[in-house]
Amino acid sequence: MNCHRMMSSSLKKVQSGVISRDKVHIEKLALLAIIGPDSWNRVTPQDCSISLEMVTDFEKASRSDELKYSLNYAVISKDISQFVSPRQNYKSLGLLAERVLHHVKDGYPGIQALALKAQAGDAHIRSDDVSVVIHAPTSPQTPDELVIANLKLLTLIGVFTFERLQKQYVTIDINMPWSRQSEGNVEYRNVIDSVVSFVESSNFKTVEALVDSVAQIVTQQDYFTKHPDAPVTVKVIKLNAITATKGVGVSCSRTKKDFLGKPALDVGSSPAQLTNASFDLPVSHSTQITTDSGWNVAYLAFGSNVGDRVSNIQCAIDYLNSHEELTVTKVSSIFESEPMYFQDQRLFLNGCIEVKTLLSPQELLKLCKRIEYEELKRVKEFDNGPRSIDLDIILYKDEDGENVVMTTNDLVIPHPRLLERSFVLEPLCELISYNEVHPVTAEPIIEHLNQIYEQERDEDILCKVIPLPRIGGKDRFLKFKNKPVRDSVTGRFSTQTISPTYTMGILNTTPDSFSDGGQLSGNLESQVEKVRTMVQEVLKLSKQIIIDIGGCSTRPNSEQASQQQEVERTIPLLKKIRSDKSIPHDKVILSIDTYRAGVAKLAIEAGVDLVNDISGGQFDADMFAVLAEHPNVGYIMSHTRGNTSTMTKLTKYSEAEAEENTIEYVYGHEERGEATVLIRNIGRELAQQYAKAVDVGTKRWQIVLDPGIGFAKQSMQNLEAIKGINVLKNYSLARDEHFIHFRNLPVLVGPSRKKFIGKITGDEVAADRDFTTGTVAGACVGFGADIVRVHNTKNCVKSIRMADALYRETP
């Protein structure tokens, strides 16, 4: 024993002010000691441990390999075990640590510096480890500390719905100063009790807010009133929050001064008391918006699966628009979806609406409920059950564009289930900026949709629908079933059509048709018989057929018929078709090929379902207004430039024109070089017309795009346009604060018998191009077309059906 008390080279170095870089360690020497009440408030010996980190100089020992020149950790361990008596009451863990530290430091002069950690595993039932760490000598760089580690608690924390409905585990570590003057030290039992009481009644969105509040709770102890500069460090780990980790979290260091001016926290409650049994999201600021505020922006989700669903949706939109303090500014596409919670019910039609309003969130909620229950007579038998209409507020922004976050018994914004519903997120992403961030999660909303698609659930496969006029009280739609697909290059998700492609049969009634020489012109009975034949041919392989009837040639440089001539060639035929009882009208979709609003209006009255406009609304300023009056009629918006006399001279598509606006390719086509100058110009020009149509009141759900094969395009440009169909479907245009997202918008392609085919094959006569048209039609399906317009329906439907089997479905 004396050899360890002798003056050594180590001590000489301490006296000379030189500190060694060598250390001797004793890790968790097990002891029994009375250190105050245990977990069950009994004053009995507790299992404790002592760990030491002793700075010394064992250079001579390392060279000579002789233990006598170092600290003998075996001897020191035995000495401490004998020194600590299980019968003596040390009163606290800190006093035990101090007694042992002095004993060791005084007894072993070879120790230049010493760090001692005394631990107790049973000091408190809620903590695995309470310890006191003290040093000799003391210095500002190595302060003494009380450490409460691995405090495991259950609390309500997070922003996702599943997190709001079930408490989860967090662990908390707390470090605070420890004074050798035991008077006034923090009583760790009080700290643990306060933190447990607070955290387990807490309600937070983020661990950042939780960790800061725990630090404030600790600094409310009496010790910190006398020592306002004393730091407290708190670390919170959220267990199993991310699959690939054991836990993630944050830490912070605070003093009492950091909380000056903030109200003290009630240990028995959290800053936001639970007010809603099903979902409660705390807010840190007032969300009361009155009618004195300016125009606010809100996003509503709609859903209907009872009665005439499209009529319910349109009526709800009309009721909203009729309110003097609200204007509907945008409406999404309509998606048909499976019931999400209660499956034994009819399919839903879903979508989203953007409104500008002077109404507060609470007032807007009242309006939505009045429309649901008073205007549209919704009957709610149980939650998530059938409904004529459902209007939910999903997002709300004040007049400054700031997101409102609120939670009450009646209303939670953002909607608590927004992030788990593809049938809400998909239409919402049509209306908001691609960079729009969720106000609670701080992640782009589009990324939340991608996260849903990563789960590959069948219920997230949506069907985009174009409502058509009902026949015999039955719904009729064009349906485009969309499956999420991850891009192999960018890793992003887009949706691709997986439902069968529609065949559109062409019926020209003009005497100067380029394709058939006017064979059916003027003969009404022959025209109807041609329709019957096409219907019979196509319905052998498809469930529906589209018949496109045209009364005015639109080929380049053709002489244009008058509106009266066009009416006389088409309207009687439409009426006769619709009155023909041999035609299965629920399977036959009639289209009018016209750019004139007057003709379109008469055709709609005669029973037409689609308006096919080769000008995309450029030739007649009233076209969009007519469509706005008939939201259950589809509209094919084709790309062209100039008019029938000038379009052949307008085939130059420049880089400068493509870059006129800021353009985003939201699914990464640009990175793959697919967004050619031609496609970018077509997309930009169609997006501009699309914006005009929507501004007038045409609904997004009505619109189908057409790249305009043969119109204002040279031969090879037509091939380029076909190859770029998928890019065009997902085109995104942003200009200033305005943006347009097509998001897998349906696309029609009309390559049939076009001149560019003849240039490649050498077939000068248009009717001789049918075989090759079938080849091109199949290729169009492969590149993403949803509707292919052809003359020879008998053979082309086979090509289209084969392409479907290859690219879209199992044959």
Domain CATH number, residue 21: 3.30.1130.10
Contact 54, 23 (CB under 8 A): yes
Domain CATH number, residue 724: 3.20.20.20
On whether both 173 and 118 belong to a single domain, the answer is: no
Of 354, 362, 228, 339, the residue nearest 301 (C-alpha) = 354
**β-bridge partners, 413:** 406
Please check whether residue 475 lies inside any domain of the structure: no
The mean pLDDT of 637-656, rounded to a whole number, is 90
pTM to 2 decimals?
A: 0.76
Please check whether residue 480 lies inside any domain of the structure: no
Classify the C-alpha dihedral 669-670-672-676 as positive or negative. positive
Tell me the three-class secondary structure of 584-625, residue by residue: CCCCEEEEEECCCHHHHHHHHHCCCCEEEECCCCCCCCCHHH
Of 91, 120, 142, the one marking the end of a domain is 142
Q: List the Cα angle 498/499/500 in 5-degree steps.
A: 120
Which pLDDT score is estimated for 2? 38
On whether both 229 and 336 belong to a single domain, the answer is: no
On whether both 304 and 230 belong to a single domain, the answer is: no
Please check whether residue 489 lies inside any domain of the structure: no
| Cα separations in angstroms, 554 against 188, 514, 645, 780 | 87, 10, 10, 22
On whether both 507 and 432 belong to a single domain, the answer is: no
Which pLDDT score is estimated for 424? 95
Please check whether residue 14 lies inside any domain of the structure: yes
- pLDDT(302) > 80: yes
Judging by beta carbons within 10 Å of its beta carbon (0-12, 13-18, 19+), is residue 218 exposed, middle or buried? Answer: buried
Please check whether residue 481 lies inside any domain of the structure: no
- pLDDT(668) > 50: no
pLDDT in tens, 716-750: 999 999 999 998 998 877 655 567 888 899 999 99
Please check whether residue 332 lies inside any domain of the structure: yes
- pLDDT(156) > 80: no
On whether both 105 and 17 belong to a single domain, the answer is: yes
On whether both 161 and 134 belong to a single domain, the answer is: no
* Average pLDDT taken over every residue of the chain: 86
Please check whether residue 117 lies inside any domain of the structure: yes
Domain CATH number, residue 360: 3.30.70.560
pLDDT in tens, 504-551: 999 999 886 555 545 666 689 999 999 999 999 999 999 999 999 999
On whether both 176 and 88 belong to a single domain, the answer is: no
Of 443, 466, 489, the one marking the end of a domain is 466
Burial code (b: 16+ CB inside 10 Å, e: under 16) for 89-103 equals ebebbbbbbbbbbee
- pLDDT(494) > 60: yes
Tokens of 199: 């955290």
Of 381, 387, 278, 298, the residue nearest 340 (C-alpha) = 387
Which pLDDT score is estimated for 38? 77
On whether both 114 and 228 belong to a single domain, the answer is: no
How far apart CA 511 and CA 676 sit, in angstroms, is 38
Tokens of 771: 């075989």
Q: How many residues does the chain have?
A: 811
Which pLDDT score is estimated for 289? 58
pLDDT in tens, 334-346: 999 887 655 567 8
On whether both 304 and 374 belong to a single domain, the answer is: yes
Dihedral over alpha carbons 538, 550, 501, 719 (to 10 degrees)? 120
- pLDDT(698) > 80: yes
How many domains is the chain partitioned into structurally? 4
Please check whether residue 287 lies inside any domain of the structure: no
Give residue 275's pLDDT band: very low, low, confident or very high (50, 70, 90).
Answer: very low
Give residue 266's pLDDT band: very low, low, confident or very high (50, 70, 90).
Answer: confident
On whether both 191 and 262 belong to a single domain, the answer is: yes
Domain extent at residue 56: 1-142
On whether both 138 and 187 belong to a single domain, the answer is: no
Of 240, 255, 282, the one marking the end of a domain is 282
On whether both 183 and 216 belong to a single domain, the answer is: yes
The mean pLDDT of 17-46, rounded to a whole number, is 85
